[in-house]
Amino acid sequence: MLKAWFAIPLWQRVVAALLLGVVLGLFWGPEAESIKWIGDFFIKAIKMLVVPLIFFSLVSGVAAIGDLRKLGAVGGRAILLFVVTGQISVWLGLALGTGAVNLGLFPSREALGTPEVATPEPNETTPVDMILSIVPDSPVQVMADVAVLPLIVFSLLLGIGILMAKEDGLPVQKVFDSGAIIMQKVTMIVMELTPFGVFALMAWVSGTLGVDALKALSWLVLLNYTGCLLIILVMYSAMIKFLAKLPVVDFFRGIVDAIAVSYSTASSNATLPVTLRCAERNLGVRNSVAAFVISLGATINMNGTAMYLGLATLFGAQIFGVDLSWGQYFLISILATLGAIGAAGIPGAGLIMMALVFGAVGVPLETIAFVAGVDRIMDMMRTTTNVSGDAAVATTVASMTGDIDREEMISADDV
Ligand code: ASP
């Protein structure tokens, strides 16, 4: 029985749970709230992962740069491109979300009759407070408070410290590398709760809200795909054409395998070997640049995830009736970029990072439950966007530093 359960891929179990939950809720009505606690259990488990996931994957990602000098030519350019494209992506998500709210595609709290849930207090901070708050008083305190921004600062510094310590840093680096792998396994365990959490939450959602909620979710999925396609077809194409000065069609032809694997696995990490192979063999990127940029990118370059975090925050704010100020838009843009950097390249990581963005601007974490059932289908597209971005940045940096064999890229007919 158990064997048969695990033999079904997780995402299929989640989709089945989603459908069953919806059906149960429609029949059961508001009474379905009695099983909501199962979903709350799932959300708590997700929240538990945020601190250790960021801590281990970020430190090990920075330390993977290997040599501080590398941060210069290749790393500096790559990181600049990661951050700039990440910012553009979040703002695209925010723009799509705002458009959807204005066009009435995301129903308001009143229209949807969203049930009362505790709204976290938004952080009312001045810019000076914000600057001060990114420096941790104590790393332990920061972890206990799940204060992600100072945690990221501390993790980055720790990673740089490991690099500066050279040989002496290796044992600690190993600990973080292994910690990052272990946290991915722990995440896998928690993800096994998804079908149950999704089932209970969808029953609650459809039982209390009805068909309107489902319509809102279809719009969210559609906008997620629109945003991702815009990033890939417009932003990456422009990067390849104008910054790398290479033929766009050849670039996309060269990464077809990576696109297929990322879409079906929803994991940048699982796709990493394929992305590397595509970059080296089909795009002619020199091995050292490809290995460095693409493995770093698999952890920190997630434009699809960044866009989605912006979009989903507006979705949650709308359905739970939370007003967002311009200041909070900026906070979202920073946190979504950091969340995308901190997210591990594994299925569902973007969902976990929502807890970070939502908490900071006062959007109820129940939104996570609301979207969890359709997350996989959006995750597949986010991951394709993330992985194509890694290849695009590697190709662009390699082209800038002269580490690319243009002939090989253009003549790669055998992909
Ligand atoms: N699954 C995505 C990735 O591996 C991360 C996410 O959930 O957005 O790139």
- Residue 389 Cα, ligand 1 centroid: separation in angstroms? 12
Structure tokens at 172: 């600690």
With vertex at residue 266, the alpha carbon angle to CA 261 and CA 271, rounded to the nearest 5 degrees, is 40
From the first residue on, what is the mean pLDDT of each consecutive set of 10 residues in the chain (415 residues)? Answer: 84 83 89 88 78 81 72 79 95 95 81 59 57 80 78 84 91 92 83 84 78 81 96 97 94 89 82 84 83 80 95 92 88 88 82 86 85 84 95 94 74 50
Distance CA 414, CA 391 (A): 18
Decide whether any atom of ligand 1 lies within 6 Å of the 309 Cβ.
no
Decide whether any atom of ligand 1 lies within 6 Å of the 386 Cβ.
yes
Decide whether any atom of ligand 1 lies within 6 Å of the 347 Cβ.
yes
Q: How many CB atoms lie within 10 A of CB 121?
A: 8
- Look at ligand 1, atom 8, and give the residue with the nearest C-alpha: 350
- Residue 263 Cα, ligand 1 centroid: separation in angstroms? 10
Q: How many CB atoms lie within 10 A of CB 113?
A: 13
In a domain, 88, yes or no: yes
Q: What is the pLDDT of residue 125?
A: 52
CA 308 to ligand 1: nearest atom = 8
Decide whether any atom of ligand 1 lies within 6 Å of the 266 Cβ.
yes
Q: What is the pLDDT of residue 315?
A: 93
In a domain, 2, yes or no: no
Structure tokens at 109: 């709290």
Q: What is the pLDDT of residue 117?
A: 57
Which domain covers residue 171, as residue numbers? 9-414
312-335 burial: b if 16+ Cβ within 10 Å, else e? bbbbbbbbbebebeebbbebbbbb
Testing ligand 1's pocket by substitution, the residue of 183, 386, 390 carrying the most ligand atoms inside 8 A of its CB is: 386
Structure tokens at 135: 């420096």
In a domain, 158, yes or no: yes
CA distances from 259 to 232, 388, 392, 394 (A): 11, 7, 12, 15
Decide whether any atom of ligand 1 lies within 6 Å of the 268 Cβ.
yes
In a domain, 344, yes or no: yes
CA distances from 52 to 30, 171, 258, 342 (A): 36, 19, 28, 10
Q: What is the pLDDT of residue 415?
A: 42
Testing ligand 1's pocket by substitution, the residue of 379, 381, 387 carrying the most ligand atoms inside 8 A of its CB is: 379
Structure tokens at 291: 């290995």
Q: How many CB atoms lie within 10 A of CB 368?
A: 24
In a domain, 214, yes or no: yes
CA 268 to ligand 1: nearest atom = 4
In a domain, 4, yes or no: no
In a domain, 410, yes or no: yes
- Look at ligand 1, atom 2, and give the residue with the nearest C-alpha: 383
If DSSP states are collapsed to H, E and C, what string results for the chain?
Answer: CHHHHHHCCHHHHHHHHHHHHHHHHHHHHHHHHHHHHHHHHHHHHHHHHHHHHHHHHHHHHHHCCCCHHHHHHHHHHHHHHHHHHHHHHHHHHHHHHHHHHHCCCCCCHHHHCCCCCCCCCCCCCCHHHHHHHCCCCCHHHHHHCCCHHHHHHHHHHHHHHHHHCHHHHHHHHHHHHHHHHHHHHHHHHHHCCHHHHHHHHHHHHHHHHCHHHHHHHHHHHHHHHHHHHHHHHHHHHHHHHHHCCCCHHHHHHHCHHHHHHHHHHCCHHHHHHHHHHHHHHHCCECHHHHHHHHHHHHHHCCHHHHHHHHHHHHHHHHHCCCCCCHHHHHHHHHHHHHHHHHCCCCCCHHHHHHHHHHHHHCCCCHHHHHHHCCHHHHHHHHHHHHHHHHHHHHHHHHHHCCCECHHHHHCCCCC
- Residue 69 Cα, ligand 1 centroid: separation in angstroms? 29
Q: How many domains does the chain have?
A: 1
Residue 285 has φ and ψ, to the nearest 5°, of -80, 135
Decide whether any atom of ligand 1 lies within 6 Å of the 184 Cβ.
no
Decide whether any atom of ligand 1 lies within 6 Å of the 302 Cβ.
yes
Structural contact between residues 344 and 187, judged by C-beta atoms closer than 8 angstroms = yes
Match 């792998």 to its residue by tokens. Answer: 181
In a domain, 1, yes or no: no
Distance CA 110, CA 408 (A): 58
Testing ligand 1's pocket by substitution, the residue of 46, 346, 388 carrying the most ligand atoms inside 8 A of its CB is: 346
Q: What is the pLDDT of residue 149?
A: 67
Q: Give the residues across from 285 on adjacent strands.
A: 404
CATH code, domain carrying 17: 1.10.3860.10
Decide whether any atom of ligand 1 lies within 6 Å of the 301 Cβ.
no
